[in-house]
């Protein structure tokens, strides 16, 4: 589906109206090779952020670059492959990264705050709420929170593209109106004239297999490795109603242009009619790693999707993995498609005993019936399954 210039202008008006914005800055936007961080690039981004704040907007930043800064300071030319060396570079570089941001923000009398998060901080419900409350308090005081993954302790988090997902999670955490992913290319590009040149894809309504194939056909040494994760992060945000713009962070006044509604970069946007997702369901669906899987039958699938019912034992066909009561699990339909996620009321061992049985049989099988359902509908998030191709160019 192609979007006309007029249609893009209408879609971009929603971007221009954004008041609470998360901006993710990629390593390659900030770094200048062996010499380390580019002060002029940081100054340009900070100036953009300051001007948007002067318009009454609230901004939080997710910034990569700690490992790159550390490598430059330590005289390391090649990115380390051993985890302790990566964590060492992150520890050295994070202070230098923050010092650079603070130096330029102070010129506008804007305070910054550092938040280093791990996936566990966002998965644990209490720490999740604490992080949200802290971020909201900082934004209310006009501070610019600068967030990064805590690479020093997050053993499984040091990998390319993780901060794209972190930015999407932060956008959900604070109920942002807009997510901006700054990279080194002006959005998603598609080949033209037999691949001799590329053109900007202005709007993507859904990250379909066709869109992924498009990305796979266009590869360059700057942006490919990260573009797929950026699209996945943008799709996550779009699924809860948050639009994303992927744009070239090296471009001066890039953020101001984006927030004026100008056709800059690629806009990834979901259905504007989609209802706002409650914070608890966002937490269930996106901030937790599933500990197991339930495969359900067709009757249960229809009851969940069409009638908004809870998942009862009788509808469960298969239990995969071992998990306790209260764990988050994936829900698959009979064809193996991911239907949703939810918090289980029973352990995997108990569900194996009661699957396929009527609710009335639970006391006889387990000796007690604490719950009627395996997953209550209030503790379940169903994903929207769009079959049509929504690629726009």
The DSSP call for residue 55 is T
pLDDT at 278: 79
Kindly state whether residues 70 and 174 are assigned to the same domain. yes
Residues of the chain predicted below pLDDT 70: 1-2, 33-35, 154-161, 193-196, 214-225, 271-276, 384-393
Of 222, 257, 279, which residue sits at a domain end? 279
Assess contact for 180 and 23: CB atoms under 8 A. Answer: yes
pLDDT at 327: 95
Residues 6+ apart with CB under 8 A from 144: 49, 53, 59, 60, 61, 105, 110, 111, 112, 113
Structure tokens at 117: 């998060």
* Chain centroid, CA 301 distance in Å: 27
pLDDT at 218: 47
Structure tokens at 188: 């998603």
Of 257, 279, 301, which residue sits at a domain end? 279
pLDDT at 108: 98
Query: Which helix (DSSP H) or strand (DSSP E) does residue 11 occupy?
Result: helix 5-16
Q: Which domain holds residue 71?
A: 5-279
C-alpha 386/C-alpha 53 separation (Å) is 37
pLDDT at 388: 35
pLDDT at 393: 40
C-alpha 188/C-alpha 9 separation (Å) is 18
Whether 388 is covered by a domain: the verdict is no
Kindly state whether residues 216 and 69 are assigned to the same domain. yes
The DSSP call for residue 378 is G
Structure tokens at 65: 């670059």
Of 279, 312, 347, which residue sits at a domain end? 279
Q: What is the pLDDT of residues 67-76, one digit of tens each?
A: 889 999 999 8
Structure tokens at 379: 């503790």
Q: What is the pLDDT of residues 195-254, one digit of tens each?
A: 667 888 899 987 777 777 766 544 443 333 478 889 989 988 998 889 999 999 999 999
Kindly list the distances between the CA atom of residue 227 and the CA atoms of 31, 39, 339, in Å, as whole numbers in the listed order. Answer: 18, 25, 26
Whether 215 is covered by a domain: the verdict is yes
Strands (E), the chain: 20-25, 58-63, 112-117, 144-149, 178-183, 189-192, 197-200, 203-204, 244-248, 266-268, 292-296, 316-320, 328-332, 338-343, 380-382
Whether 250 is covered by a domain: the verdict is yes
Whether 88 is covered by a domain: the verdict is yes
Q: CATH number, domain at 234?
A: 3.40.1160.10
């Amino acid at each position: 589906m192609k979007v006309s210039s007029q249609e893009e202008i209408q879609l971009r008006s929603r971007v221009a109206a954004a008041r609470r914005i998360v901006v993710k800055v990629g390593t390659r936007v900030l770094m200048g090779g062996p010499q380390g961080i580019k002060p002029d690039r940081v100054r340009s981004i900070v100036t953009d952020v300051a001007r948007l704040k002067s318009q009454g907007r609230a901004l939080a930043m997710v910034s990569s670059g700690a490992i790159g800064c550390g490598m430059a300071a330590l005289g390391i030319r090649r990115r380390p492959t051993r985890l302790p060396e990566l964590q060492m570079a992150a520890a050295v570089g994070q202070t230098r990264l923050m010092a650079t941001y603070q130096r330029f923000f102070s010129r506008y009398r804007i305070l910054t705050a550092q938040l280093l998060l791990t996936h566990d901080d966002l998965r644990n419900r209490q720490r999740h709420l604490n992080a949200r409350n802290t971020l909201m308090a900082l934004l209310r005081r006009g501070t610019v929170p600068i967030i990064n993954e805590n690479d020093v302790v997050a053993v499984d988090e040091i990998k390319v593209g993780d901060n794209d997902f972190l930015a999407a999670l932060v956008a959900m955490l604070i109920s942002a109106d807009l997510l901006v992913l700054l990279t080194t290319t002006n959005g998603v590009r598609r080949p033209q004239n037999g691949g001799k040149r590329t053109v900007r894809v202005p709007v993507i309504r859904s990250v379909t297999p066709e869109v992924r194939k498009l990305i796979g056909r266009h590869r360059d040494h700057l942006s490919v490795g990260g573009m797929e994760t950026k699209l996945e992060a943008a799709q996550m945000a779009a699924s809860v109603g948050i639009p994303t713009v992927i744009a070239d962070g090296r471009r001066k006044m890039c953020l101001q242009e984006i927030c004026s509604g100008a056709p800059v970069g690629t806009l990834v946007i979901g259905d504007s009619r989609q209802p706002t997702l409650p914070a608890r369901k966002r937490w269930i669906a996106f901030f937790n790693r599933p500990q197991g899987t339930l495969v359900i039958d067709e009757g249960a699938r229809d009851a969940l999707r069409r009638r908004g019912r809870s998942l009862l034992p009788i509808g469960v066909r298969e239990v995969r993995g071992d998990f306790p009561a209260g764990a988050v699990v994936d829900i698959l339909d009979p064809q193996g498609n991911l239907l949703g996620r939810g918090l289980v009321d029973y352990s995997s061992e108990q569900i194996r005993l009661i699957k396929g049985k009527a609710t009335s049989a639970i006391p006889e099988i387990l000796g007690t019936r604490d719950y009627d359902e395996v997953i209550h509908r209030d503790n379940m998030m169903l994903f929207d399954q769009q079959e049509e191709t929504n690629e726009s160019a």
